[in-house]
Structure 1
């Protein structure tokens, strides 16, 4: 995780920097996908001494942004409050992601798209057949006769393997290698 610390209104001491960094790094325990953390420590002049020290933390987590702002009498107390609030946000976010994954799996299973672990393979079906060289026009006729969206064939004109396909906009397309 990349942690960026900034201080405004005071000089950041090493012990506070270490304390803050350790607290923010500890958030990885709750959700390992934290990419960046931006921590801003601000000393403000306010009437209430309990609100003079402000901590703003912004986390970039798996494409989402989580942000918290806390004030306290000391920076350590503000950092503690901010990390506690972020921990709660991370737990909620983690639950949302988990529930979304489960909903997706359940829908796929209902549709019969999820295979059992031992069946998983990137190749779903394998076919092999002999090919005689044909022209692209003959390949289109064969594709239409089979009612397929594409047809793989040995091109009689070029001597290479090619594919003809039905285009969504109408007509047909031909895919062939650039370097036969």
Structure 2
């Protein structure tokens, strides 16, 4: 694994770098030898919160996890647990779906190290379905509608281009817009 560790409002000390490499490096046991090339780690400090974001781009899969905690070392442990859950979940799904060579299935080792199983997470249980008509509106009106409803996202038909868009509230309190390509 090649680590790219960056710190924002934080100096990445050799001890911190070593801890991140040791913890995230444990994920190598889940992959075939040549699968992982780069691991991008971003460490941030904002107010009293320590945030770690780990991104592992692969040829057919992107693993990404982010965790915020008051203790940076605890955040590192939590983000590694999240990534392990993602890997186990993907491996189980992929073993069911893909059967041909070169698929994502062959990125993971056949023997998964002992640990907790996450069978419950493999099935997505849809408990409610909503249907509604998409009223044409601009993004500002969609944000106002979202705020009035108290939701964190809002799906709407964009009156400018006629496409279906989504506005959402970001963690920093600002807004984002998702448009199809």
- Could you tell me the TM-score, scaled by structure 2's length? 0.51
Alignment partner for residue 91 of structure 1, among 84, 88, 94?
A: 88
Whether the 8 Å contact between 1:34 and 1:62 is mirrored in structure 2 is no
Q: For residue 34 of structure 1, what is the aligned residue in structure 2?
A: 36
SS of structure 2 residue aligned to 1:34: coil
Q: For residue 67 of structure 2, what is the aligned residue in structure 1?
A: 70
Count of residues in correspondence between the two structures: 99
Map of 1:1-180 to 2, 5 A cutoff?
Answer: 1-32=1-32, 33-45=35-47, 49=48, 52-102=49-99
Q: Structure 1 residue 100: deviation in Å?
A: 2.4
Return structure 1 stretches of 4+ with deviation > 3 angstroms.
none
Structure 2 vs 1, CA of residues 78 and 7 (structure 1 numbering), >3 Å: closer, same or farther? same
Structure 2 vs 1, CA of residues 97 and 91 (structure 1 numbering), >3 Å: closer, same or farther? same
SS of structure 2 residue aligned to 1:6: strand
Whether the 8 Å contact between 1:31 and 1:94 is mirrored in structure 2 is no
Q: Structure 1 residue 74: deviation in Å?
A: 1.4
5+ long unaligned stretches in structure 1: 106-180
SS of structure 2 residue aligned to 1:96: helix
User: 1:2-50, CA deviations, whole angstroms, 9 ceiling, x for partnerless residues?
Assistant: 21100010111111110001111110112333332100000111xxx3x
Aligned-residue CA RMSD (Å): 1.7
Structure holding more helix per residue: 1
Q: Which has the larger radius of gyration?
A: 1
Distance 1:31 1:88 in 2: 14
